[in-house]
Structure 1
Amino acid sequence: MTETTVNDAEIAKFTAMAEQWWDPKGKFKPLHKFNPVRLAYIRDNLVRHFGRDATSIRPFEGLTILDVGCGGGLLCEPLTRLGATVTGIDAAERNIAIARIHAEQSGLAIDYRATTSEALVAAGERFDVVLNMEVVEHVDNVTLYMKSCADLVAPGGLMFTATLNRTARSMAFAVIGAEYVLRWLPRGTHDWNKFLTPEEIKAQIRRNNLRVTGETGVVFHPLADEWKLSSDMGINYMVLAERRTA
């Protein structure tokens, strides 16, 4: 394949931090804080869309889920525990190595691969659910990336996209505040110019024959020290889309 979504500088950046994926007090601390709200959003929508029993311990038995840019597996592991057959891919081989070790230590069977979304499309793979979470702002060739993610969604399946809005507030809070003032993230983690607005994301989704069925903002509540869903999409947000069966 001549086209790629891989940004070598971004891969090098996350490879350098790979050993800290599962340290809740390390460089991925903000993602550990963010994980419960995005996992709950995924879980609630999967239960609703696929008609699963929300009270079941393993409600997602039989569902195939792909986590694109899975990192150390922070979403892959809980979704596997909920019964799904999970594949996690990442272009950074070190991330995959860390994810495999942690899954093995946790007694979980997860199909981790050092590969890209476009490579899976070329192999003809499809999944019931595709997770595109906090990745699009780190890739090259956004158009190819969003197309490849969409192409991996099976008929009747869902795609979740989470990213950062390109606003003055996201520059102030997600870049200057998080990286330079509060030091939640290493400096240079994000490039504000690569952030995408909700309308830009939704246009990409619709262009690739998926239907947008939901969207939500995610905001941090400092007094509660937790992230919550919100109608405010000015900084962090998630978009849900589905591929119709016909």
Structure 2
Amino acid sequence: MYSNKFCRLMLGLYSRKPSSVLGVAQSQSGCSWSAVRKQRTLWLQRSGRPESLTPSAPCHISARPASQTTVDPDEVRRFQSLASKWWDEQGEFAALHAMNDLRVPFIRDNLLNVHRARHPGKPLAGLRILDVGCGGGLLTEPLGRLGAGVLGIDPVEDSIGTAQLHSSYDPDLRDRVCYRACTLEELSAEEEGGGGGGGGEEGQGPGQFDAVVASEVVEHLADLETFALCCSLVLKPGGSLFITTINKTNLSYALGIVVAEELLRIVPSGTHDWEKFISPVELERLLESNGFSVQSVQGMLYNPVSGAWSWTNSTAINYALHAVKVRDDPQPDRAEESSPHPEHHAAATHS
């Protein structure tokens, strides 16, 4: 039944041009944007990058104006209504539960390519990871079970409450996973001010995390320029940024919104706004203007019949991206280490 409906939809929608179809409210954000801008200016001066890359002249990625906050109040309200449903594996977030089969190995394997230390049973031991827009902790928990110290942040307080309650039942997570109801810009302002970024060691200064994860998050944000800048601020030099999101194509509109939301009800209606989707090319351009080097981009495909995800060569719908923060103090003997490695791409091709 689904396949017949799907085929009819594809014939009519594939060539159709789509119509214009996470934090607390901006007034509640306690971040010091002037401090964030100052930190970016200093970084640009140290790295020799032109001032034209500052937020006053943001990378052109969409028609949306820069808001200096990642927060979209409408998105907050939407996820507030779903805060109690995160751990229902057959409910609205079933596809996110299934996505762990791909995104957890993708993060683990790429981090192990960068950090060569081996800890049997806990391969990510000793690493600090920030899970941005963590929701109920669906990705935070498995990363903690791999040995990493993980801070999950989300602007929806009820989602953080759900995450804290769920993780409290697992003694193995109590010393590895913690949560905060805050925005990325609030956390980055703390980093810039030497506040430790939620659990960092005193005296380390800005850049507390070995990795930042933003899985199925950027398509819900108000300002991607602010997001990229803040990710750079909280990461250590050479730290990794992992993103999974949805491409901005006719096919992603047909499958991600029409089929997933309106036909099959895989996700609640209104979850996605096609205008907020971003292509891999645009995302790479944005990240590189904020001090990142993109290492790999891999397509992802969801099968609504089996409920499983698989890797694919096509990035036309969903994709995963791994980028590395360019070191603040690049040295000649690190040039090879900082350059993209083709073999990193291959690390993401297994399920």
TM-score computed with the length of structure 2 as normaliser = 0.67
User: 1:235: which partner in 2?
Assistant: 317
- Distance in 2, matches of 1:103 and 1:166, equals 34
Residue of structure 2 aligned with 1:58, choices 116, 122, 133: 122
1:238 to partner: Cα distance: 1.1
- Asked whether 1:103 is paired with 2:185, we answer no
Give the direction of change, closer, same or farther, for the CA distance of 1:209–1:82 in structure 2 (3 Å limit): same
Quote the Cα distance in structure 2 between the aligned partners of 1:150 and 1:12: 27
2:189 maps to a residue whose letter is A
Query: Which whole-Å CA distance do the structure 2 matches of 1:47 and 1:150 have between them?
Result: 20
Runs of 5+ unmatched residues, structure 2? 1-31, 34-67, 192-196, 198-207, 331-351
Aligned residue in 2 for 1:185 = 267
Equivalent-residue separation in structure 1 for 2:183 and 2:304 (angstroms): 36
Alpha-carbon distance in structure 2 between the residues aligned to 1:144 and 1:222: 34
Contact 2:95 2:307 in 1 (8 A): no
Question: Corresponding residue for 1:114?
Answer: 181
> For structure 1, which segment, 162-171 or 35-44, has the greater mean C-alpha deviation from structure 2 after superposition?
35-44
Q: How far did 1:151 drift?
A: 2.1
Indicate which of 5, 12, 18 corresponds to 2:77.
12
Partners of 2:303 and 2:93 lie apart in 1 by: 18
Name which of 148, 154, 157 aligns with 1:93. 157
Of the three residues 15, 18, 22, the one matched with 2:87 is: 22
- In structure 2, do the counterparts of structure 1 residues 223 and 96 end up closer, same or farther at CA, with 3 Å as the change threshold? closer
| Number of residues of Structure 1 aligned to a counterpart in Structure 2 | 245
**Structure 1 pair 186/222, CA: closer, same or farther in 2 (3 Å)?**
closer
* Distance across 1 between alignment mates of 2:228 and 2:257: 24
Q: 1:78 aligns with which of 131, 136, 142?
A: 142
Q: Residue by residue, what CA displacement relative to the aligned partner does 1:59-98 show, whole Å, maximum 9, x if unpaired?
A: 1111000000000001111111111010000011111010
CA distance in 2 between counterparts of 1:190 and 1:228 reads 21
Q: Is the 8 A contact 1:150 1:205 kept in 2?
A: no
Establish whether residue 143 from structure 1 lines up as the match of residue 225 from structure 2.
yes
Deviations along 1:113-142, one digit per CA (max 9) or x if unpaired, are: 011111111111420000011111111122
Question: Residue 253 of structure 2 is aligned with which of 168, 171, 192?
Answer: 171
Q: Is the 8 A contact 1:129 1:157 kept in 2?
A: yes
Q: 1:95 to 1:196 in 2, by over 3 A?
A: same
% identical equivalent positions: 40
Distance (Å, rounded) in 1 between the aligned partners of 2:89 and 2:158: 19
Aligned-partner residue type, residue 9 of structure 1: D
- Alignment of 1:49 with 2:114, yes or no, is yes
Cα deviation code 1:15-64 (max 9, x no counterpart): 111111011011111111212111111111112221143x8210111100
Using the TM superposition, name which of 143-152 and 18-27 deviates more.
143-152
- Tell me the alpha carbon deviations over residues 141-161 of structure 1, each in whole angstroms, 9 at most, x when there is no partner: 221112112222111210011
Kindly name which structure, 1 or 2, has the bigger radius of gyration based on alpha carbons: 2
Structure ranking higher in strand proportion: 1
Give, as a single letter, the amino acid of the residue that structure 2 aligns with 1:89.
I
Aligned to 1:68: 132
Of the structure 1 ranges 134-143 and 168-177, higher mean CA displacement relative to structure 2 is found in 134-143
What is the Cα-based RMSD across aligned positions, in Å? 1.5
